[in-house]
Amino acid sequence: MKLRQRTATVLLCSLAAAVALAGCNARRIKERPSPRGTNVILLIGDGLGDAELAAARNYLTGAGGHLTMEKLPVLGRMTTYAVVENAPHLPDYVVDSAASATAWATGKKTSVGRLSTAPQTGEPLATLAELSRAAGIPVGIVTTAEITDATPAALAAHINARVCQGPNDLAFCPEFRRESGGLGSIAEQILHQRFEIVLGGGRRRFEQHWGGLGNPQALLDTAHQLGFTVVTTTSQLEGPLRPPVLGLFAEGDFDRLWKGEPARPYPGSGPQRCQPAGRPPEQPTLEEMTRKALEILDQLARERGRPFFLQVEGANIDKSAHAADPCAQIGETAEFDRTVDLVWKYAQERGNTLLVVTADHAHATQIVPHPSAGAHFPGLLSTLVTNEGALLTVGYATNAPAGSQTHTGSDVSVFASGPYSEQLAGRHDQTELFVVFARALGLRE
């Protein structure tokens, strides 16, 4: 046991040394909070482009209805482009979740696949979460993906390739091995950051063993020794939990809430109604995780006289669109929108809270005319019978039918409420989120 504790301490220390670069970078932005900062809650619908949003609205509320997020008082639009790795003065017009999340996490553009590191040089870029922690601001990260996936990881990790999620996943990032003096995998970096509450999937990354100076240990054991409250089921999430909290409710990503026939070549799947998929009960809903995160962060923020920063991701909208699975996609969007409702009510009651709902990139979905033999969408199609009883045909044709449907380069919508939200009205680049959040949290530049 003592040996294990020493192992954990070594992890913290070795990581602390390795993260020094990022720390130096972080210190460039002076982190003294203003006396009264504003809570910041960012809700990311991964891949929730405007076509995905309209498809979900049509299905759920009818064409004339509004999703909850659309009722927020401030509307903006954001560009999401990345930059080219070897020519970072040039844009890469279609972004991925890693470069996109880096943009708001650090205020800097990077290239596709990178997490909070600069293109070409790999320089670590200080994140809002790190700056918050340095200012005594509690931080929460919630997702329905693995917590080592791109969107949550951008706040916590500095690494050259988003695939380097666990100690055994470093084939593309050999220089990040701690044995090589690196920062370690994304999972190791998340433990090091010790944010107040991190909830999602990806337990398999923490079951991997880190080298530990000749004393291999599963990261989960290390987490216990470092004082994390580790929870892995919905019922464990419900009780009172002492931060820092690490919730790992699935081996990989969460299961989808809804299922249906994926889109298929003409005449396509359906007409169909979407069905509950039976997410396993040990996996909480996004609302349940978010409610717990709000409870803990609210309490800590009051104790410390500080605001808090929370990022919540509805991750599997994106993954369902990659799979051309409209029912799964809409079910995840519905869950995300219910979470918006929960958070908006909290923000209205709490006051002094900036709430921002947006996406990290547009995706492949298109709402298209009903197919006929003479004229039809040439890719993957599905026709859904919406709640209002009409036929909604959605298509996916950004990759070969057997391939993963790709992101697209349209802007995304931004919905916001609370202090500073008017600064996001109109059209901005998503790096502006970093600036507005830092201002709201009282982190001075």
> What are φ and ψ of residue 161, in 5° steps?
-145, 125
Q: Report the residue number, 68 or 311, with the smaller CB distance to its own copies.
A: 68
Among 13, 276, 426, 445, binds its own copies (CB under 8 A): 426
Is residue 366 part of the contact set for its own copies (CB under 8 A)? yes
Q: How many CA atoms lie within 13 A of 444 on its CB side?
A: 6
Site track for its own copies across 81-110, x = CB under 8 A: x--x-----xxxxx----------------
Among 368, 436, 441, 443, binds its own copies (CB under 8 A): 368
CB of 238 to its own copies, least distance (A): 36
Residues 6+ apart with CB under 8 A from 2: none
Is residue 58 part of the contact set for its own copies (CB under 8 A)? yes
Is residue 262 part of the contact set for its own copies (CB under 8 A)? no
- Two tokens at 256? 């989808």
Residues 6+ apart with CB under 8 A from 263: 269, 324, 325, 326, 379, 380, 381, 382, 394, 395, 396
Active site residues: 97
Q: What is the largest CA-CA distance in the chain?
A: 73
Among 273, 427, 444, 445, binds its own copies (CB under 8 A): 427
- Number of amino acids touching its own copies (CB under 8 A): 57
Is beta strand 366-367 parallel, antiparallel or unpaired with respect to 217-218?
A: unpaired
- Two tokens at 213? 């100076």
> What are φ and ψ of residue 291, in 5° steps?
-60, -45
Among 14, 106, 410, 421, binds its own copies (CB under 8 A): 410
- CA–CA gap between residue 226 and residue 323 (Å, rounded): 38
> What are φ and ψ of residue 415, in 5° steps?
-120, 135
> What are φ and ψ of residue 253, in 5° steps?
-75, 160
Is residue 387 part of the contact set for its own copies (CB under 8 A)? no
Query: Which residues from 296-355 bind its own copies, rule CB under 8 A?
Result: none
Is residue 367 part of the contact set for its own copies (CB under 8 A)? yes
Q: Which residues of the chain form contacts with its own copies (CB under 8 A)?
A: 50-51, 53-55, 58, 62-64, 66, 70, 73, 75-77, 79, 81, 84, 90-94, 362, 364, 366-369, 375-379, 388-390, 392-393, 395, 397-401, 403, 406-411, 413, 425-427, 429
